[in-house]
Structure 1
């Protein structure tokens, strides 16, 4: 396995297509396909599952992703070291805004890893169920569930994540088995307060066709605790599942949503090296942490 093959692997993982990776690397998509096949043959595993949505990482692919991104970071840091850049660690205060699910269950793990590398850095995580105003400098950068369509922003896709319908095992044992969507009739649903949904990407209950919420909150953490208390079923981020023993997916083959996290910065910060370096670390480690939490590792 060599670095060139890992670069191709990373491009396919990030674009989820051979053509997208080809455009990114400026090589023919057929060549990308051959390189991936060669890498899979050499490792003796399947790295991608092809679906109508594109190329999705398998479990083995997800495991390789963390190592490939670590190698990418090492190459980047090596180049920085040789060029005389990056001699000092990141310092000062950086404020991140994020929806509370991400802020509670993902970002603390991400920041802990960054802090190990940069002990003089102070990070503030602002968890808020709304959009942040970067123009007013409420935060230095924001993690968003949708990409802004207007304004002067630097926007980068961080990673995809998934959500599933879930309930406590003890709750499910007290009711008839749910084998089809029709079996959800009669169960209470937990979700967002309808008129406080600040982004259409959060309207999960409507998307899966249930159309009603019996117990609601504008906070993911509160919703999770409602489900933990046995108030009913709800749509939960897969990366939250490891934090609640006994929480079980319901109809996982039928109901599973896919979303993405986006990193948004003000365009004027393009030349701020400290924020750029921090953003690179944030994106890399968030990808690893979300993948690890979703796989249960």
Structure 2
């Protein structure tokens, strides 16, 4: 079997689309289709069932998928063993993360990792949703809850805290806030309720807040509204150093959440990813502690 054909097979199996597979491989969809047809002819088996929803692996395709993924890991492991400076990490690693972590914690941590490993290429994918590691949307993902399904390894990284926050500008002209019930007289910034992708992010009710006046699925948008004096919202304590002029409101009322590192179970065989994940988790612990101490 031609390894290039196997890479095409993996891309289609993960994206379930010739167009998306072609985009990831930087070839046109017609070429992807021809390569799949060639592989099917060589193996004497239909690997994908085409439907309006896309290309879903058949039973034969599913059986081939596990072998193809092991071959991919072996190829990557071989490349890692001979590339770069001994002792240093190299190659590309993609990390998925919720946008709070991706905007206010990961950049500093990854920059320090790059300082020690200049041949490494780190990509941060910041999206307000869960990542599908089975489809290789990322090499690893940081999440706010521990997944319970799939062939995944889950490691708790660290706790972090959330508090109510508002700008000094807003508070100077707003009704006084002495207890949670006083929040009903204020404009609230928060998530769009039907776009909350993880139950751990549905925290306004814990502050007794029902109605959200200014809503976004982005933590950064919410924080910018709060910085601009638009209202009161829940902010990450680790984001406060990046938001001068924003102060905590009712500081005794705060929530605790956790970050988890999630990886595909088969990736435990890859020394490069094991080493990177160890450095990343320790860096995240230190950075969250440093940023929260600053507030």
1:185 is displaced (CA, Å) by 1.9
What do residues 10-35 of structure 1 show as CA deviations (whole Å, max 9, x unaligned)?
xxxxxxxxxxxxxxxxxxxxxxxxxx
Correspondence for 1:294 among 265, 270, 292: 292
Secondary structure of the 2:118 match is: coil
Secondary structure of the 2:102 match is: helix
Between the aligned partners of 1:265 and 1:175, the Cα distance in structure 2 is 46
Task: Count matched residues.
Answer: 211
Partner of 1:221: 220
Task: State how 1:265-284 maps to structure 2 within 5 Å.
Answer: 265-284=263-282
What do residues 129-155 of structure 1 show as CA deviations (whole Å, max 9, x unaligned)?
000000000100000000001111111
- Conserved 8 A contact 1:206-1:212: no
- Conserved 8 A contact 2:180-2:207: no
Between the aligned partners of 1:175 and 1:146, the Cα distance in structure 2 is 35
1:181 is displaced (CA, Å) by 1.2
Structure 2 residue 179 is matched with structure 1 residue 196: no
What do residues 86-119 of structure 1 show as CA deviations (whole Å, max 9, x unaligned)?
9330000000000001001100000011011111
Structure 2 residue 243 is matched with structure 1 residue 244: yes
Structure 2 residue 147 is matched with structure 1 residue 152: no
Secondary structure of the 1:138 match is: coil
Gaps of 5+ in 1: 1-85
1:231 is displaced (CA, Å) by 1.4
Partner of 1:208: 207
Correspondence for 1:262 among 260, 263, 266: 260
Between the aligned partners of 2:120 and 2:127, the Cα distance in structure 1 is 22
Task: State how 1:1-297 maps to structure 2 within 5 Å.
Answer: 87-253=86-252, 255-296=253-294
Superposition CA RMSD, Å: 1.1
4+ aligned runs moved over 6 Å, structure 1: none
Secondary structure of the 2:171 match is: helix
- Conserved 8 A contact 2:175-2:186: no
Superposition TM-score, scaled by structure 1 size:
0.70
Secondary structure of the 1:270 match is: helix
- Structure number with bigger Rg: 2
1:212 is displaced (CA, Å) by 1.4
Between the aligned partners of 1:88 and 1:147, the Cα distance in structure 2 is 31
- Conserved 8 A contact 1:205-1:212: no
- Conserved 8 A contact 2:174-2:186: no
1:160 is displaced (CA, Å) by 0.2
Between the aligned partners of 1:157 and 1:224, the Cα distance in structure 2 is 26
- Conserved 8 A contact 2:157-2:284: yes
Between the aligned partners of 1:249 and 1:97, the Cα distance in structure 2 is 29
